[in-house]
C-alpha cells in the first residue's frame, strides 16, 4: 500500500520541489507515489483513492513559497496547509 501521493501543481519548475519532498518522505520510511505530470485535482483524488493512500500532498507554488504544502487526509477528508518540515 501507498502512504502518500505527492502531486505537483504549477508547472515544471515545481517538479524539483515535489521530488525533494517525496525523497524526504521516503527517507523517513513512507511509501510515496510521485505524480509529476499535469493532472486535474479530480484525477489526483481518484488516483490516491485507487492506491488506498493515506494522504494526498499537493505541492503548489503559493504554498511552497510560504514553506507549506496542502495535505488532504483521505479517510477523514480533512485538509489544510502544513509546514513542509512537519509533513
pLDDT digits (tens, 9 = 90+) for 13-56: 899 999 999 999 999 999 999 999 989 999 999 999 999 999 99
User: pTM to 2 decimals?
Assistant: 0.93
With contact defined as beta carbons under 8 Å apart, do 36 and 13 qualify? no
Sheet with 79-83, side-by-side order of all strands: 32-35, 4-8, 55-59, 68-73, 79-83
Amino acid at each position: 500500500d501507498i502512504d502518500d501521493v505527492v502531486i505537483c501543481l504549477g508547472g515544471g519548475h515545481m517538479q524539483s520541489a515535489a521530488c525533494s519532498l517525496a525523497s524526504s518522505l521516503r527517507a523517513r520510511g513512507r511509501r510515496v507515489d510521485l505524480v509529476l505530470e499535469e493532472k486535474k485535482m479530480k484525477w489526483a483524488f481518484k488516483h490516491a483513492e485507487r492506491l488506498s493512500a493515506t494522504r494526498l500532498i499537493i505541492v503548489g507554488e503559493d504554498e511552497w513559497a510560504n514553506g507549506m504544502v496542502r495535505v488532504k487526509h483521505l479517510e477523514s477528508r480533512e485538509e489544510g496547509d502544513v509546514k513542509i518540515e512537519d509533513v
